[in-house]
Amino acid sequence: MNSSSEKKYNNFIDQRPPIAVIDIGSNTVRLVVYEGEYRSPAPIYNEKNTCRLGLGIAQTGKLQEDNVNQAISLLKRFKLLIENMGISKLYVIATAAVREASNGASFIDQAEQILDIKINVLTGRDEAKLAALGVFSGHRKANGLVGDLGGGSLELVSVTDSKIDENGITLPLGALRLLEVSNGNLQVAGDIIERELDKVDFWSKVAGLSFYSVGGTWRALARLHMHQTGYPLHILQGYRMEYHAAQNFAGFVSQMNFEILDKMQHGISKSRLQILPFGALVLEALLKRAQPSKMVISACGVREGVLYDRLDKAEKKKDPLISASKLYSINVSRSTEHAEELIEFTAQIFGGELSETSEQNRLRQTVCYLDDIGWRAHPDIRGSQSLGIISSAALVAISHAGRAFIAYTVYYRHDGVNKVNENQHLLQLIRPQDLTRARILGLLIRVAYAISGARHGLLPRVKISIDEGSLVLKLPKELADLRGSRLENRLKKLAVEMGLDRKISIK
């Protein structure tokens, strides 16, 4: 690599040290390590243990000794892991169980000595705010109601265009707490839920909008719904359920006992299954009052809210999908600068001859950043492998239909359009017209690679356009020798897919 190319390449290197959050919750204690202080950092390590610190508080007002000891041992383990990982910043938060227990302060003292850091014991309003910020970090222009169900409490806050409308409210409706105070009786729990939800006064403001659900119990409920309906994409972030479907399923699960739930093949832990009917009961009652248009699962919650809250304004303004896909490109593709050139090259057709919405534009940019992530795989499996990687990648601010579009576009970029062998896995998630668009974009990128050889520098010198029913590729005279059977064949297949003639012009 010459010095000029090396300088250009290094402009894209943005290696930031990892950061971490420890979340001391009422049901679980978790460590999540993120790749760095970015707009949309991917988790690189995630470990939790079901310590159930909130168990017994409703009756005794104290954290139970066995559960405290379990949590303390886990924090000691986390401390060693953090020291070895070279964490640049560590944030530690504690929620309902610790703030309510009479011996919570004593536990925090022990934990702070172990971790050598000040722990932020969140108020209920703090939790509501951070849950909303977590949703903002993973969803564009969130509108509606954010609800975060933990083991000890439920936080609710209304949002509009990713701005918090109301001071959040916290209610003692955590799934673990309900299990305890009702002595496992769902009817008693239901009465408690109704009394507490009567305290919320902003139902009318969120009616007809989206309900963003946060928390492990509601994620488990969504995972069970995916399993029951045979949903093809096992990604919780952005999973949607229409209002009536969500309410009916919540009502169904709330009546199921542990033995029935345990027999289902769903990958949900036994400890979570024990409280799942109570979480479903809260959801059913909440949806009945809120009357949202749909329920949207947010895998981003309080922990992500902690990180988002500390970003500067410029970083917050970045599109989280574009930011995350560019990081993917930097880490695993051959040339991020080539991806940037590819965005401009494809814009000559998309956004030029073929109109595109703002959403289609950001999806096209994402495709260009992700199209080369499978380059190290054997050529025979690059398409299917890339489709699998993208469909399960840690991407946010994207619908499942959008994820399918990106995955299929990159699939076609590698395998071309061969309908006989077409991967069928995600077809039910994408509209036929969007699949056609994916084929055209994928074939256009194949043409680009036949020009560039996967390196930056050549694409900006080549023009492509639609002129009087023909797809015209314009090569400058000094690049005339690029014309060959590979480029000709790829251009022909793209033109056929678009219903056009084609020609290569040398000028």
98 with 177, same domain: the answer is: no
Q: What is the CATH number of the domain that holds 478?
A: 1.10.3210.10
Kindly indicate the confidence band of residue 420, based on its pLDDT and cuts at 50, 70 and 90: low
140 with 270, same domain: the answer is: yes
Domains contained in the chain, number:
3
Asked which of 71, 97, 121 is the last residue of a domain, the reply is 121
211-242 pLDDT tens trace: 999 999 999 999 999 998 999 999 999 999 99
297-318 pLDDT tens trace: 999 999 999 999 999 999 999 9
Contact present, 301 and 197 (Cβ < 8 Å): no
Identify the pLDDT of residue 2. Answer: 43
Cα separations in angstroms, 357 against 441, 443, 480: 15, 20, 34
Each residue of 427-443: b (16+ CB within 10 Å) or e?
eebbeeebbebbbbbbb
Query: Is a pLDDT exceeding 80 seen at residue 14?
Result: no
Query: Is a pLDDT exceeding 60 seen at residue 328?
Result: yes
250-263 pLDDT tens trace: 999 998 877 777 77
Rounded Cα–Cα distance for residues 131 and 298 (Å): 10
Asked which of 244, 277, 304 is the last residue of a domain, the reply is 304
| % of the chain exceeding 70 in pLDDT | 96
108 with 129, same domain: the answer is: no
383 with 460, same domain: the answer is: yes
Dihedral, CA of residue 116, residue 122, residue 128 and residue 129, to nearest 10: -60
Q: Residue 429 belongs to what H/E stretch?
A: none
376-409 pLDDT tens trace: 999 989 999 999 999 999 899 999 999 999 999 9
Q: Residue 93 belongs to what H/E stretch?
A: strand 89-94
- How long, in residues, is the chain? 507
Contact partners, residue 371, CB within 8 Å, separation at least 6 = 333, 339, 342, 386, 409, 410, 413, 445
Report phi then psi at 310, rounded to 5: -100, 0
Contact present, 23 and 115 (Cβ < 8 Å): no
355 with 502, same domain: the answer is: yes
Kindly indicate the confidence band of residue 422, based on its pLDDT and cuts at 50, 70 and 90: low
Rounded Cα–Cα distance for residues 213 and 74 (Å): 28
Asked which of 260, 275, 304 is the last residue of a domain, the reply is 304
| Cβ neighbour number for residue 467 with a 10 Å cutoff | 13
Query: Is a pLDDT exceeding 50 seen at residue 472?
Result: yes
163 with 59, same domain: the answer is: no
Q: Which two tokens stand for residue 356?
A: 């595109």
Contact present, 174 and 98 (Cβ < 8 Å): no
329 with 289, same domain: the answer is: no
| Segment 180-209 mean pLDDT | 95
Query: Is a pLDDT exceeding 70 seen at residue 7?
Result: no
Residue 380 inside a domain? The answer is: yes
The helix, strand and coil proportions of the chain, stated in percent and rounded to the nearest 5, come to 50, 15, 35
Q: Residue 463 belongs to what H/E stretch?
A: strand 463-467
| Cβ neighbour number for residue 85 with a 10 Å cutoff | 15
Q: Which two tokens stand for residue 62?
A: 């104290």
Report phi then psi at 480, rounded to 5: -60, -30
Containing domain of residue 62, as a range? 11-121
Which of 100-109, 126-135, 421-430 has the weakest average pLDDT?
421-430
Identify the pLDDT of residue 8. Answer: 43
| Segment 195-204 mean pLDDT | 94
Rounded Cα–Cα distance for residues 415 and 412 (Å): 5
Task: Render 123-191 in DSSP notation, one character per residue.
Answer: -HHHHHHHHHHHHHHHSSS--EEEEEE-SS-EEEEEEETTEE-S--EEES--HHHHHHHTTT-HHHHHH
Identify the pLDDT of residue 81. Answer: 96
Q: What is the CATH number of the domain that holds 15?
A: 3.30.420.40
Rounded Cα–Cα distance for residues 282 and 287 (Å): 9
Residue 41 gets which letter from DSSP? P
30 with 148, same domain: the answer is: no
355 burial type by CB count under 10 A (0-12 exposed, 13-18 middle, 19+ buried): exposed
Tokens 């036994």 correspond to what residue?
Answer: 270
Identify the pLDDT of residue 11. Answer: 43
136-192 pLDDT tens trace: 999 988 999 999 999 999 999 999 988 898 778 999 999 999 999 999 999 999 999
Q: Which two tokens stand for residue 51?
A: 């310590």
364 with 284, same domain: the answer is: no
Each residue of 127-153: b (16+ CB within 10 Å) or e?
bbbbbbbbbbbbbeebbbbbbbbbbbb
Cross-strand bridge partners of residue 295: 211, 241
Residue 236 inside a domain? The answer is: yes
Cross-strand bridge partners of residue 211: 145, 295
What Rg do the C-alpha atoms of the chain give, in angstroms? 26
Question: 253: closest CA among 223, 230, 211?
Answer: 223
Identify the pLDDT of residue 265. Answer: 58
Q: Chain centroid to CA 250: how far?
A: 23
Identify the pLDDT of residue 260. Answer: 76
Q: Which two tokens stand for residue 46?
A: 């995630």
166 with 282, same domain: the answer is: yes
371 with 482, same domain: the answer is: yes
Rounded Cα–Cα distance for residues 207 and 262 (Å): 35
Identify the pLDDT of residue 319. Answer: 94
Q: Which two tokens stand for residue 93?
A: 């938060």
Q: Which two tokens stand for residue 295?
A: 């329920």
Tokens 């080549």 correspond to what residue?
Answer: 462
Rounded Cα–Cα distance for residues 155 and 174 (Å): 9
Query: Is a pLDDT exceeding 50 seen at residue 339?
Result: yes
Contact partners, residue 447, CB within 8 Å, separation at least 6 = 464, 473, 487, 490, 491, 494
141 with 88, same domain: the answer is: no
Q: Which two tokens stand for residue 496?
A: 């056929």
For strands 240-242 and 470-475, give the pairing.
unpaired
